[in-house]
Amino acid sequence: MPDEDRLYQSLKRAILEQRLPPGTRLRELQLAELYGVKRGTVRTALTRLSQDRLIRHRPHAGAQVARPDAGEARDLFATRRILESAVVRMLAGRIDADGLRALRRLLDEEQQAYRQQRPRDGLRLSVQFHAELARMTGNRVVQDFIEELLARTPLVLLSAGPAPRSCVNHDHGAIVDALERGDAEAAERLMQAHLDELEQGFLQPSEPPPADLRALLFDDEEASGECA
C-alpha cells in the first residue's frame, strides 16, 4: 500500500513544515481527488494521523488539522524538555567525530538557509537537527516520541500566535560544543534554554483563514515564504 503511506507522509510533512495551519478542514473527497486515490485510502491515512494527534476527527464532523490549546502547548514543551535533555545527556562525550561533523554540517546549512531568506528550508533543517540528535542515541523509542513531538510543535506554535515562528536565534551550535566537550550539564541546560526560548515565542491567538489546499500540499520540494 504505497498510496496510503504516500498520503500519510505527505500530510504529516505538510503539517511539520507549517503549510497546513491548525484548524484546516480536510475533506475526504477533496484529498482523494488531489492525490488521485480512492476515498477509502484517504480514510485510513486520516485514521493514522488522528492517532498521532495531528488531526482531530469527530464523528460526522469530518477531520481538521489539530488546534491544540495553551495547555497542550505547555505540556508538549515540558515533555520535549524532559526527552531532549535526556538525549543530550546520553550523547555528551559519547558522540564520535563523524557525528559531530554531521551535526555541524546541519548547523551550517541551517544558518545559510536563514541568511539566504529561505526560512522554510531553515525550519526544516532546524527540525532535522533535533531529529538527528534523537537518532544518534540509538534509542528508537525515544526517537519516535521526539519525532512525534516535532510534528506537533508547529501546531502548538501556530495555534498560540500567528505566523512565522521558530526563526529564533539558533543556539544549536552551543549545544554541539557542549556535546563535544562531554559537558552533559551544560548541554542539558542549553537545550532547556533553547526550548524555553522557542516556547516563549508565543503571542496572542489569531484566526488564520484556511486557504485552498492544493497549493499547500504539493509544495514538497519548493521553497518560498518570508521570515519576520
x/- map, 30-49, DNA, by CB under 7 A: -------xxxxx-x------
Q: Which of the stretches 42-50, 162-170, 204-212, 214-222 binds a copy of itself when contact is defined by CB under 8 A?
A: 42-50
Number of residues that bind DNA (CB under 7 A): 19
Q: How far is the CB of 50 from a copy of itself (least distance, A)?
A: 8
**Three cell numbers, residue 34:** 488531489
Burial environment of residue 175 by CB neighbours within 10 A (0 to 12, 13 to 18, 19 or more) = buried
Residue linked to cell 511539520 = 16
Of 102 and 142, which has the nearer Cβ to a copy of itself? 142
CA angle 178, 135, 219 (to 5 degrees): 110
With residue 192 as reference, give the H or E element that holds it: helix 184-200
Give bridge partners of residue 65 from the DSSP assignment.
55
157 belongs to the binding site for a copy of itself (CB under 8 A): no
Q: How far is the CB of 6 from DNA (least distance, A)?
A: 11
Candidate list 36, 59, 61, 96; residue touching a copy of itself; CB under 8 A? 59
Rounded to whole angstroms, the Cα distance separating 111 from 166 reads: 13
39 belongs to the binding site for a copy of itself (CB under 8 A): no
61 belongs to the binding site for DNA (CB under 7 A): yes
Of 145 and 218, which has the nearer Cβ to a copy of itself? 145
10 belongs to the binding site for a copy of itself (CB under 8 A): no
**Three cell numbers, residue 99:** 557525528
Residue linked to cell 495531528 = 54
x/- map, 168-207, a copy of itself, by CB under 8 A: ----------------------------------------
Footprint on this chain of DNA (rule: CB under 7 A): 1, 3-4, 26-29, 37-41, 43, 57, 59-63
Footprint on this chain of a copy of itself (rule: CB under 8 A): 1, 43-44, 47-48, 51-53, 59, 71-72, 75-76, 78-79, 82-83, 86, 138-142, 144-145, 149
